[in-house]
Amino acid sequence: MVNPYSIEAIATRILLIRGKRVMLDRDLALLYNVETKQLVRQVRRNIERFPEDFMFQLSKGELENLRCQFGTSSWGGTRYIPIVFTEQGIAMLSGILRSKRAVQVNIQIMRAFVQLRRMILTNTDLRRKIEQMEKKI
């Protein structure tokens, strides 16, 4: 069984939307062990901490795309359009969710984002080296 708070498990919840790596409000609420509506309520109460590059609401089209990717039916699925948080928005969440759990979860999430960046850089370097070898051949 995979630890839901492991870096690998968290990394699977990081999505690429609008060219940004983000996490869904429901996934964050699950990790923080709070209801999604409670998380969103806290964010709305502290909205000045969350500019558009820290969080944004998905469009209907983006939500439909997510439903298709996850195989979620329209019956019993999400009934509202989710909010997604960038890495900076997630870091800001620890300031408004002041539990020890929120701090520990945020540390793991930040590690997952760092690990993803490293993997992307490694893959980019590897691709560049392969392209150079192909040119020589």
| pLDDT tier for residue 18 given thresholds of 50, 70 and 90 | very high
The domain spans of the chain are 7-136
Question: What is the C-alpha separation between 135 and 130, in angstroms, rounded?
Answer: 9
Rg, C-alpha atoms of the chain = 17
pLDDT digits (tens, 9 = 90+) for 38-86: 999 999 999 999 999 999 999 988 888 887 776 554 445 566 889 999 9
- Kindly state the tokens that stand for 69: 């990717």
Alpha carbon separation from 79 to 5, 123, 136 (Å, rounded): 26, 37, 55
Residue 8: what are its φ and ψ, rounded to 5°? -65, -45
**Whole-number Å distance between alpha carbons of 16 and 122:** 18
Q: What is the pTM of this model?
A: 0.77
